[in-house]
Chain A
Amino acid sequence: MANFYRKLIVLVLLITSAAGACFAQQPAEPRIMGTYASTPFQEFVKDLEAKTSYRFYYDAAATDSVTITLQAQNLPLGQVLEQALKETKLQFAISGQKQVFITANKALLTSLPDDFFNEENQKAVGKQPELADLYVQQEAPTRRSGSELKLYEIGVPGNSKNGKASLAGTLRDASSGEPIIGANVYIESPAIGTATDQYGFYSLTLPVGRHELKVRGVGFKNAKRNIMLHSDGRLNIEVEEDVRSLKEVVVEAEKDRNVRGLQMGMERLDIRTIKQVPTAFGETDILRVVLTLPGVKSVGEGSTGMNVRGGSTDQNLILLNDATIYNPSHLFGFFSAFSPDVLKSVELYKSAVPARYGGRLSSVLEVTTREGNKKEFTGAGGIGLLTSRLTLEGPIVKEKSSFLLGGRTTYSDWILKQLPNQSYKDSEAAFYDLNAHISHEINSKNSVYLTGYLSKDRFKLASDTLYRFANYNASVKWKHNFHNKLYSVVTGTHSQYNYDISNEQNEVNASTLAFGIKQTGLQADFNFFPNEKHTLDFGASTIFYDTQPGSLTPNSAQSLIKDDKLQGEKAMEAAVYISDQYEVNQRLSISIGLRYSFFNAYGPRDVYTYAAGVPKTEGTITDTVSYASGKSIATYHGPEFRFSARYGLTDNSSVKLSYNRLRQYVHMLSNTASMSPTDTWKLSDSNIRPQIGDQIALGYYRNLRANTVEFSAEAYYKWMKDFLDYRSGASIIMNHHIETDVANAEGKAYGVELMLKKATGKLNGWVSYTYSRTLARVNDAGTSEIINRGEWYPSNFDKPHDFTLISNYRFSQRFSSSLNFTYSTGRPITLPLAKYYDGSSYRIVYSDRNEYRIPDYYRVDLAVNIEGNHKIKKLAHSSWTIAVYNLTGRKNPYSVYFKSENGIIKGYKMSVFGQPIPTVTYNFKF
């Protein structure tokens, strides 16, 4: 500490002497007239600052309880201060540069001891740490700031033309160098603020002059920087992690984003929150946590398929560092495919989707990995009952570049082999995923980020069928700062998803079914901050799709399986967008965006044409058109409007309104209720139209108790058209004319979502209630079959009432617990209406689709976290998580069904996790 101050003193000295100032001289003090009666200290200081050209420096915490009572009749400043502070512990010092330093207990020395430059006396200087807390450095254009007490002078005095200047920089964690996303950086007077973006970058346009720049967010200590802004400049800020909140439930990073931010229908989950929520297998699972958010539903426990505000499971754009993930789960949905240690945050947009995103109708789930520790080599891991994971990270070039490597695997294969039952011994179950991330700061203007992701599954479940799935993803990003007000990110991505299913038992039918989709994309995004009122985002993107919709090949010499291959599909999706976020005034801000997307399916391919106006069947094929390679088959394009507005009612409440339209050109083919292993993706073409969705949402937001409690109420109405439904008995695998088996459905969804969150404190978490309906209708002349006579019917995930409580209570620094409760209406199902005898067996006649519901769902989960001690020096920090999923053991039905067995009909109820499931996980960090 002493050393630190000494360096400071030397710096101050160098600068002040370079400026040629005479630090020993005192100019004549101004005289003060004024009356103060129990005036708060800060007001008193402001008044003095107004009356004089002197600047006051003080610690707000030390002075906030101080009031001043004083009558000054043309007294010199020194005397005024002496009188004012005589009843307090405060001391003051006045420097030659018209600076007044108020300190507690001991007055600051504003001049150096006379013998300061005498070498022998330097040690003694260290004993006077309060010599100066100020240094001014004008040379460095960008600096990393770590001290709250320093005054940072930014820019060159007099360089600002209009009295305003822009300040930009990156917010990072002081210990790891990781950028911090979504933290608020603001000044209070005038109220100007922004939130850091996904690179931790912020840009503000402020009046020149002195400001106290505040930095706020969850997971790190509140920070502030005193700046003197002369002209455009940069200030990188490092903040310290808040160790105490290590295990708090963190709902969103920005405490008052709820009310202040323009964004609505967006949830940001910090990895710490995600780790808090107990799951069935003790695995931290981001998708499970996302499913607890209001407006997000799934058909049942076994499924990771999300239904966001009434959208189907293929309407979610899942991005891992901007690369699309097609199958975000392992083991048919029981585990999410993202290893928790490498993740930083998850953002879900349910409405008011920014113009930057497009291509899916219902939501965008943006998963961001951490950059890796830029300062030191560290690792983390966990050992659970079924899986283990390990993450390593560290600097490649200190402070400049870092790597992050994460892996996770299961040892379930080994476990299966240990089981006495033969059918388990014949089973195989293996999966792993790998993440690699490299970030490198080339210089202050350029950074590059490389991400690679691989996940693989291999399953053979007591049968002769082997399932294999793989996701391959890579992305490269180049971020370039043109200047403080403009930066660009150019991203190249490649995503690939493949699966194959092999069957070898019957030699004549032995075959392999394979599916694959590849997409390669390039996009350029620009962020422009022209002034403090506007933020402009614009850019362009293009994606090339290449799918292999299915191939069936014999895999043994005796196999008679016909080599069959569906024609590959190729298409290009492109979009340009621009959006402007305009802060009209303190209360009103609006964001207007337009995205124009364009889709072109091209050859080589043969496409059937069907007679117009009659249902598409094999019998109504009128022609087959052959398209040469690269020849356009079908083109769709259209505008996607994005609009949102916020009106602040009071300082802590606001209303927001948004409208958006999205277009989706790729469709998942699935006729099962949940996401299934054999789902495939289909590109729009001349027979399959793109899906279009519109949503209008209105919300009311209010923060209570100093922003610690957030309340939000959002209502939405959504229309969707041309999403796919299926004919009865549709065959979606290896179908050469899938358009004959699908139906264009239209949907409408509406609901109200209420949420109350408490992000900090010993007790934290959230409570949400949602009322929502989702209805679908198939009423299309081009469909050979009309479901429920063309009337509206509830979709599979229409669960009107939904109540969720996620709570966390911290007993001590090392011991915390979380308790979750979920209730929802049972999902709709189709049940028998009557039975009949078919000559040998009773069979069932079904009711209209989704006319009945399974019993309501509720579940309680409990988890306890025990942290190791917080000693700084030890080999590894560890923690234990002991959790019980479904504490009450309620057999929540996943489905209710009737089956003809031995000639008679039997009713069954199936539940996925019908008893309490205890788990233990050991986590470590070094």
Chain B
Amino acid sequence: MKIMNWKNTIGLFFILLLSGCVEPYLPEVMQGPNSYLVVNGFINANGPSTIQLLRTQNLDEETMPPAENGAIVMIEAEDGEQYGVHQQGNGIYVSADLTLDSQKKYRLFIRTRNGREYASEYVEVKHTPAIDEVNWEPVDGKVEVSVNTHDPANDTWYYRWEYEHTWHFRSAFFTPFKYIDGRIDYRDENDEDIYNCWKTEQSTTIELSNSKRLTEDRINKYKLLAIPSNSEKVAIKYSILVKQYALTQEAYSYWETLKKNTEEIGTLFDPLPSQLNGNIRSLDDSNEPVIGYISASTMQQKRIFIDSKELPREWSLFAPSCYSDTMYLAQASVVDYFKEGYIMPVTGIYVGGSMSPIGYVYADKSCVDCRTAGTNVKPYFWE
């Protein structure tokens, strides 16, 4: 045991050496004088394009990102061909279902409500090859999801992915009861299923790869994400929809820099965060920073499912656990306990052969009603 401790002490040196010591830190809040225009989205060459117009915020602002509403947004070709992109929601602008000519170059034009004009550079339309496979495999206690693709024409080279993953989950406790009108009743088939739910999340990281250094345009096992074996995501059934976009070299370089600046930072050998210029400019003031990069391409997508039964048997998967307590009707009324809806009854406490409970085991709503964390509407694609 003593020897082991000694080894650990020396091991500590290495941990120090390799990882340094990282702690959360917030320096004095920086206040930017401006709120710059942010342009999200891409020109979809084969379908509707969705563009989001927002404004930057100071770092400490907790509010929703301010949307730029009431702007005129157009997709324009070099030869003057124009398509309107119309506002459909808060800062969201959507075009009609378009099929763009891959021989032409297109740009996004924006005139904000205050009359300022912005435009992206004219960009070529990239054709995105199909996703060959989305694979998963268990590695070191994690489910690694990766993507394979290739371009038989050897003409794409630069790729970006986004994904949307959805998983089936259950609340910690199944309850046969419901609280209604001051009493506890049994749930029936007309009551909603609050035990089985689904949750969907979008990718939050920038996933990029290129095949420029290879002899053919092929991406092999690009790792999109790794899900720990004890994650709720793979406890029952999991699905991931991978979206693939072909990029130009310039666009790739933009996303790569953005990734380095905002995700791959915090090692001893960090490149310096560098200035990032997108391809959108103010037509009125060329020095005005505008955030975003507009590409034009088609999109390819592919969905797979991972059933927990397929995972290695030795893995201990996520099982929801929650704290529960009991209440006795002799001491308190169900109204007092369950009226507000924060806690919910789980099981009844019975004595002897009596059919009426003397009390209930109850738990927090979030342990019983899965809708607090997701939706009980089964997604249309769910198998």
Contact = CB atoms under 8 A, between A and B. Distances in A.
Contacts of B17: 331, 334
A726 B274 CA distance: 9
Contact of A836 (B65, B205, B261): B65
A844 B262 contact: yes
Interface in B1-60: 7-8, 10-11, 13-14, 16-18, 20-27, 30, 32, 34-36, 38, 40-41, 52, 54-59
A917 B265 CA distance: 26
B340 interface: no
A94 B26 CA distance: 87
Given A560-B218, A836-B291, A899-B265, A908 B25 contact: yes
Interface stretch (A16-24, A267-275, A340-348, A672-680): A672-680
B16 A840 contact: no
B277 interface: yes
A914 interface: yes
Contact of B41 (A334, A416, A839): A839
Interface stretch (B78-86, B177-185, B251-259, B324-332): B251-259
A76 interface: no
A105 interface: no
B14 A429 contact: yes
Contact of B269 (A334, A672, A902): A672
A838 B20 contact: no
A332 B269 contact: yes
A841 B204 contact: yes
Given A672-B272, A834-B58, A900 B263 contact: yes
A385 B254 CA distance: 45
Given A840-B203, A909-B23, A508 B214 contact: yes
B142 to A, nearest CB: 13
A42 to B, nearest CB: 61
B272 A796 contact: yes
A906 interface: yes
Contacts of B55: 836
B322 to A, nearest CB: 23
A562 interface: yes
A560 B56 contact: no
Given A672-B269, A836-B291, A837-B54, A561 B262 contact: no
Given A385-B13, A846-B275, A508 B218 contact: yes
Interface string A766-778: 0000000000000
A729 interface: yes
B289 interface: yes
Nearest to A847: B30
A542 interface: no
Given A837-B54, A839-B40, A908-B25, A422 B140 contact: yes
A808 interface: no
Interface string A905-926: 1111111111101000000000
Nearest to B289: A845
Nearest to A851: B30
Given A302-B20, A561-B213, A728 B41 contact: no
A835 B59 contact: yes
A840 B162 contact: yes
Among A462, A839, A900: residue with most chain B CB under 10 A = A839
A560 to B, nearest CB: 4
Contacts of B272: 671-673, 796, 830, 849
Contact of B274 (A302, A728, A906): A728
B262 A729 contact: no
B189 interface: no
B16 A910 contact: no
Given A834-B58, A846-B273, A899 B220 contact: no
A835 B57 contact: yes
Interface string A576-592: 00000000000000000
A418 B7 contact: yes
A5 B147 CA distance: 92
A833 interface: yes
B138 to A, nearest CB: 15
A1 interface: no
A897 B14 contact: no
Given A835-B59, A900-B262, A891 B21 contact: yes
Nearest to B38: A836
A507 B148 CA distance: 13
B146 to A, nearest CB: 9
Contacts of A839: 40-41, 52, 202
B355 interface: no
B42 to A, nearest CB: 10
A377 interface: no
Contacts of A831: 27, 30
Nearest to B221: A506
B26 A561 contact: no
A424 B263 CA distance: 24
Nearest to B57: A835
A916 B236 CA distance: 47
Contacts of A300: 268
A509 B10 CA distance: 35
B275 A914 contact: no
A454 interface: no
A785 interface: yes
B260 interface: yes
Interface in A741-800: 785, 787, 796
Nearest to A892: B21
Given A836-B54, A897-B265, A914-B21, A506 B220 contact: yes
Nearest to B164: A840
A574 interface: no
A676 B270 CA distance: 9
A399 interface: no
Interface in B320-364: none
B312 interface: no
Given A834-B32, A911-B20, 18 more contacts: A302-B20, A418-B11, A419-B7, A419-B8, A508-B218, A508-B221, A561-B213, A830-B273, A832-B59, A833-B30, A835-B56, A837-B54, A839-B40, A840-B203, A897-B270, A898-B262, A907-B26, A908-B25
By Cβ-Cβ distance, the 8 closest A-B pairs, closest first, are A728-B274, A914-B21, A508-B220, A909-B25, A729-B257, A676-B269, A841-B204, A903-B204
Interface of B: 7-8, 10-11, 13-14, 16-18, 20-27, 30, 32, 34-36, 38, 40-41, 52, 54-59, 61, 65, 140, 162, 202-205, 211, 213-216, 218, 220-221, 253-254, 256-258, 260-263, 265-266, 268-277, 289, 291-292
12 contacts: A508-B214, A672-B272, A845-B36, A845-B56, A845-B289, A891-B23, A896-B27, A907-B26, A908-B25, A909-B24, A910-B20, A912-B268
